[in-house]
A and B are shown apart, each in its own frame.
Chain A
């Protein structure tokens, strides 16, 4: 599905990714984990072509993404910080994205699912953080793409919306889609992900199932397993 070979990226003197090799197979939920500033978002943005790597190749469904934009038709992306043009109404934004990407009817179901009807005619600048995130989620899941990338999807969501988000992620997974998630909420990751990829200082430190991680680190609890990796590497 996604193949990354020898990916390097630095911003000025700051080396963010140094030689990432990653192969993500089709189907299932993959969680990309790592401490703050470990390069999770940079990795995701490289897959999306928003960050141009210094070295290395990325292929998405067999297509090299360099100088290519059409492959993004197959990706749904939920950005980390929902920043929208503030003088646009929610309805207008949804119409606009539909106009840019093609027809879909999923939006009505999603708006209903996240109870966004009362906000449709409000301007995006006036919405609260959580409501913006819901709009963000609607925009992401509106299209039926085989690859879904979610960067901190739980940020700012209330418990009910979180449950609804999990439902949607499960539905999409059952359709056989590949889902990449970054999150700092360990219980959320443990609950939904099939496999985790742990990034540390720009390299992949661990890739495999949660059970394997627990075994490797000799920890019964997932949160402690992650913490032990961090402690071992900083001590």
Chain B
């Protein structure tokens, strides 16, 4: 698996898109720091961008890579390699190279700005960790979609729909639900609802870490009580890991049954 990972990783590192992605985050970091001059405010703005954009890039890149490396995959399948190591190697190659672009691209401007001397370092690290989680989650979901759909157009369509659902539609439905049932106590339920969507979960985690939960009113207090403790943090981390592990297991399962 490590060899496949190595080749996929090198292949991606050399591709133009990795640089575009890297440069984008570099520019974003620099611009935000110039405009804000305040590290923690920059982190908040960055969060809003990362929460939406990282899943989108992970999804599109994952689907694109799977389809464009089809030939390579077929070449590998005839070699004495396990199917699971071929697909997991490719998946990790994509996810790791994207995570690297994110961390280095954002890291450089922040380090130069004096991140290590600032209190925002923990907020910033949390931001990068959730960003990495989101990359791994959405790349895995994208691989799942691509592996189950031979038709590229369909695969792309489903992938974008999935992203749209989790990033936008889920929140809308959730909000409507809260409005309809506003007469009932909903704090536990909304907590549960947020846990089920990795994007919402990441957003809530960061918001609460940034200590602006007061803006969220009573629910914010409940959330703060939950996410602020070690227990809440552990549960959220476990949920994010489950979001990575389940799709990865499905990649292994499907790849074993597929004809090439």
Q: Which residues of A contact B (CB under 8 A)?
A: 11, 45, 48-52, 69-73, 75, 77, 79, 83-88, 96-97, 99-101
Contact = CB atoms under 8 A, between A and B. Distances in A.
Contacts of A87: 11, 14-15
Given A50-B259, A84-B71, A85-B72, 12 more contacts: A50-B74, A51-B260, A72-B79, A75-B78, A79-B78, A83-B71, A85-B69, A85-B75, A87-B14, A87-B15, A96-B7, A100-B3
A10 B105 CA distance: 49
B185 interface: no
Given A50-B259, A87-B14, A72 B80 contact: yes
Given A83-B71, A85-B11, A96-B7, A50 B79 contact: no
Contacts of B77: 48-50
Given A11-B259, A85-B72, A69 B7 contact: no
B78 A83 contact: no
Nearest to B72: A85
Nearest to A83: B71
Nearest to A96: B7
A52 B14 contact: no
B94 to A, nearest CB: 14
Interface of B: 3, 7, 11, 14-15, 69-72, 74-83, 257-260
B72 A84 contact: yes
Contacts of A52: 257-259
Nearest to A67: B256
- Residue among B76, B78, B260 having the largest count of chain A Cβ atoms under 10 Å: B78
Given A84-B75, A87-B11, A50 B260 contact: yes
Given A11-B259, A52-B259, A87-B15, A97 B79 contact: yes
B165 to A, nearest CB: 29
B15 A83 contact: no
A97 B70 CA distance: 16
Nearest to B84: A69
A46 to B, nearest CB: 9
A88 B8 CA distance: 11
Nearest to B81: A69
A48 B78 contact: yes
Contact of B80 (A73, A86, A99): A73
Contact of A69 (B14, B74, B80, B257): B80
Given A85-B69, A87-B15, A72 B78 contact: yes
Contacts of B81: 69, 72, 100
A96 B81 CA distance: 13
A56 B79 CA distance: 23
20 contacts: A48-B77, A48-B78, A50-B259, A51-B259, A51-B260, A69-B80, A75-B78, A77-B78, A79-B74, A83-B70, A84-B75, A85-B11, A85-B71, A85-B72, A85-B75, A87-B11, A88-B11, A99-B3, A100-B81, A101-B80
